[in-house]
Structure 1
Amino acid sequence: MADDLPSRPDLRDLPFDIDLRRLNLGVGYVALGLPVSLGLVSILTNTCFNASISHYYFSRIGGDILVGALSFIGLLLMFFYSFRAPGREGCLGWHWYDVALLKLAGVAAVIVAFVPTTGSGCAYTGQVARVFLTGTRGSEEFHPPGGTVEGTISYDFWASFAQIGPDVPTALQMMHFGAAGVMFLVLGYFSTYVFTRENTTAARLAGNRKDRRNLWYRILGRITFAVVGVLAIKATLLEVLLPLALAQSIEAFWDSLRLTFLFESLGLCAFGLSWMIKGRFIAAFEDAASRPQPRAA
């Protein structure tokens, strides 16, 4: 009976290489490149510089980059790492709950991508933005000229659903921000507490550069935690503690400096650099035992 079961394919027979370092490097490059790409979108398309990275959901091209990058990161975190990873090369110091947290971060990244924030994030003056239309009416023709579609412009994702209505419930409004916080906290935890463990055989041998990598992991992890802390304090002050008039004045000044975008960019860059170090993007972080050895004469 056992002979009838299909055998597992030999990894050497697959038409591609499965390399954990390349995966780490790819995730790092995407995270690091996201804020840079969104900034370039504003410059090259001559559109508004949004108040936050999340608000680029409503920009031309930027929305596609944002959703694509977060989906890429989220899907890899959810499905590439299995609960068999702990104890294997590259994950020697991992535990089962580390994998569970990584999958949670992946789910959170997808939520951030597909449950956009509210508000335009910009004072649009003639530029084209991606918007939601409520109360739409107009041509039903598919082909040009097609007529005109009219409706009320809204930057409220949930207002598009008639069952929910124009007022966004607080729980749904906080879903985006909560998911972003969870994603950054888990990634900060990985940089500070998981990547710093001895996860490869080479890190246990003479000539390793584990101390050098750990220094950077801890710095970058703390930067990620600090970003979450600053944004959480800002939200608590403006939404809960301060009087409405003062909160609105401070928020207007904060948004005029694009501080949310800058702090989010700092968090993404810290996350990206941490994973790039994990992928050994430069030789300065590589262990001697992992470097190609000279061939004997």
Structure 2
Amino acid sequence: MPTTDLQHSDYRIRKLIGTLGLFLPIVLPLAAWDFYASISHYYYSTLPSLIFIIILSAFGLFLLSYKGYKIDKATETISDDFLTNIGGLAALVVVFIPTSCMGSTNVDIDTMCKACELPLFGHNKDWANSVHLISAGVFILCMGWMSRYKFTRGSDDGNHSLYKWCGNLVFISVALILVCIAIEHFITEAFIIHDYYVYIFETTAVIPFGISWLVKGKAIDDVKAIGKRMFGVKK
């Protein structure tokens, strides 16, 4: 796969997407000083809500701006641009159609939800919750697909194994969420699943794709360059 058709701005977008992926599951609990059932439930807490909206909106806009490599029609059926556009639109849907307010594991949010005192587009509707969950899944899977299949094209730059593992972790995490939901709702009510399994598996999906996007954006080269400047190391 040729590298001459990749715009320099795309490297910056990769680094920004990677940074957002790493920070999202870490900053939100710190802002709320509490763990919720899922990353999406931070939408209902004041400061975390602002952070959540900014980061997910940035995800959407950066992905819509990303072009990537031109499609190789001999080996590919989906272009980078098409895949990231789908992921970007899904991220924006996640913002404008948030998760249901119930089941956050936070007493204040559950009380607010029962009283119907909801912020912005907050709701407790099953259909809207389904749209949110599907959009979140599409967004994460698009990121995993980029890591696993798009970043590993062409000659190995020494990081292909990392990209594959990151992509696989994304797919495994999404699969585990679906399995836990199925067990929780369809197999037996007596089966106790940890309240935070969605948050845990969302984190094990978001952080790996964040790492892969950072590495693909040559963030390591930037760190090395900064280190050389700081410590006066000459080439």
Q: Give the TM-score normalised by the residue count of structure 1.
A: 0.64
Decide whether aligned partners of structure 1 residues 282 and 103 sit closer, same or farther in structure 2, where only a CA change above 3 A counts. Answer: same
Query: Over aligned residue pairs, what C-alpha RMSD do you find?
Result: 3.2
**CA drift at 1:284:** 10
**How many aligned positions are there?**
216
Runs (5+) with no aligned partner, structure 2: 1-6, 225-233
Runs (5+) with no aligned partner, structure 1: 1-16, 134-150, 160-167, 204-208, 287-293
Return the match for 1:214 from 144, 157, 160. Answer: 160
Return the match for 2:94 from 109, 112, 116. Answer: 112
Moved runs in structure 1, 4+ residues, more than 6 A? none
Decide whether aligned partners of structure 1 residues 285 and 219 sit closer, same or farther in structure 2, where only a CA change above 3 A counts. Answer: farther
1:230-249 counterparts in 2 under 5 A?
Answer: 230-239=176-185, 241-243=186-188, 245-246=189-190
- Determine the structure 2 residue equivalent to 1:194: 150
Partners of 2:116 and 2:123 in 1: how far apart?
14
**CA drift at 1:79:** 3.2
Partners of 1:283 and 1:272 in 2: how far apart?
16
- Determine the structure 2 residue equivalent to 1:58: 44
- Determine the structure 2 residue equivalent to 1:224: 170
- Determine the structure 2 residue equivalent to 1:101: 83
Return the match for 2:117 from 128, 150, 153. Answer: 153
**CA drift at 1:218:** 0.3
Structure 2 residue 209 is the aligned partner of structure 1 residue 265: no
* Higher helix fraction (1 or 2): 2
- Determine the structure 2 residue equivalent to 1:289: none
Paired amino acid for 2:98: P
Paired amino acid for 2:190: L
Partners of 1:100 and 1:123 in 2: how far apart?
38
**CA drift at 1:107:** 0.8
* SS at structure 2 position matched to 1:86: coil
Decide whether aligned partners of structure 1 residues 80 and 221 sit closer, same or farther in structure 2, where only a CA change above 3 A counts. Answer: closer
* SS at structure 1 position matched to 2:117: strand
1:118-137 counterparts in 2 under 5 A?
Answer: 118=100, 119=102, 121-124=104-107
- Determine the structure 2 residue equivalent to 1:275: 213
Partners of 2:151 and 2:167 in 1: how far apart?
10
Decide whether aligned partners of structure 1 residues 284 and 223 sit closer, same or farther in structure 2, where only a CA change above 3 A counts. Answer: farther
The structure having more radius of gyration, on CA atoms, is 1
User: Aligned residues: percent identity?
Assistant: 26
* Higher strand fraction (1 or 2): 1
Decide whether aligned partners of structure 1 residues 128 and 222 sit closer, same or farther in structure 2, where only a CA change above 3 A counts. Answer: closer
Paired amino acid for 2:217: G
Decide whether aligned partners of structure 1 residues 235 and 100 sit closer, same or farther in structure 2, where only a CA change above 3 A counts. Answer: same
Decide whether aligned partners of structure 1 residues 22 and 129 sit closer, same or farther in structure 2, where only a CA change above 3 A counts. Answer: farther
Paired amino acid for 1:266: T
Q: Is the 8 A contact 1:86 1:95 kept in 2?
A: no
Q: Give the TM-score normalised by the residue count of structure 2.
A: 0.79
Return the match for 2:24 from 34, 38, 59. Answer: 34
Structure 2 residue 179 is the aligned partner of structure 1 residue 179: no
Which digits, 9 at most, give the CA deviation of each residue in 1:70-99, with x for residues without a partner? 1101111123328xx4069xxxx8765332
